[in-house]
Structure 1
Amino acid sequence: MTLMFPILLGLLLAGIALLIFFKIKGKNIPTAIIILLGFMTICFTGIYAFLQKTEDYNAYKRLQWQPLNPAQIAPLVDQGYTVFVDIYADWCLPCRSNKANVTRRETIVNALEADNIVLMKGNWTEPNPMIESYVGKNGGMGTPFNKVYGPSHPQGILLPVELTMNAVFQSLEAAK
């Protein structure tokens, strides 16, 4: 497929160039045909670029999450670990957006796979007094809730509700 694309693109561009050449020479070539072929070329290129696999969208499956246990966070940080906490709910649309746009992206997954990082996840889809208490004590209002703890920030770094890859990278680096 990778060799086919340049050949087809070259043929489309050559065809457009040939039609333009004949039109300039006085042949009765409808301009709409040239425009339509140009549009098809742009669409073809866009589809090909979209289908190109540039990222492993299943990389997140490699992550080893532990259930949230607030009592374990401080001892882990004391041992030199960085702890990434993710509180979500299945019905939470911003949680889904954060997963799709940030925490399931291959570059973030690669960073979270480091040996010194412990991942803790809390599912708040159903009422859970332990999660409610933890989020309330840590400055959260609900889901999504993400916080990074580490030797440099044992009290944790509260991440924005709408996560960005940059915010995750910066908090992981700062918490070391």
Structure 2
Amino acid sequence: MFVNLTADWCITCLVNERVALSSERVSSAFRAAGIAYLKGDWTQRDPAITAILAEHGRSGVPLYLYFAPDAARAEVLPQILTPELVVKTVNGVLL
């Protein structure tokens, strides 16, 4: 599972979605690996998303979490994404 916590006003989030997360390369990798893609919208400061951010040491978005199969914890991705970074993460390639 890949979790994208974002907000409409977050410029970094919007760029990451356009450049990395919406790319065909990432979409293909998600499909091939059977990755569920979940998006949480923090535009209105939803308390449930605020709690997830705090749990991962963040005070705001973006926050990208990858839950590998059978992993005990989510891997936290950097705030700036590239298609290559996301694909390598999904494919289990150490960065």
Band of TM-score, shorter chain: 0.7 to 0.9
CA distance in 2, matches of 1:140, 1:172: 22
One-letter identity of the residue aligned with 2:2:
F
**In terms of Rg, which structure is larger?**
1
Unaligned runs of 5+ residues in structure 2 are none
CA distance in 2, matches of 1:98, 1:130: 22
Runs of 4+ in structure 1 displaced over 3 angstroms? none
Shift in alpha-carbon separation, 1:131–1:123, aligned structure 2, 3 A: same
**Contact 1:152 1:174 (8 Å CA) reproduced:** no
TM-score (structure 1 length as normaliser): 0.49
One-letter identity of the residue aligned with 2:15:
S
1:151 correspondence with 2:73 = no
Q: Which has the higher helix share?
A: 1
Residue 160 of structure 1, CA deviation? 0.5
Unaligned runs of 5+ residues in structure 1 are 1-82
Residue 143 of structure 1, CA deviation? 0.9
Match of 2:80 in 1: 162
One-letter identity of the residue aligned with 1:156:
A
TM-score (structure 2 length as normaliser): 0.87
By relative contact order (CA 8 Å, sep 6+), the higher-ranking structure is 2
* Root mean square deviation of aligned Cα: 1.7
- 1:53-107 CA-partner distances (Å, limit 9, x unpaired): xxxxxxxxxxxxxxxxxxxxxxxxxxxxxx1000110010001110111001111
Shift in alpha-carbon separation, 1:115–1:159, aligned structure 2, 3 A: closer
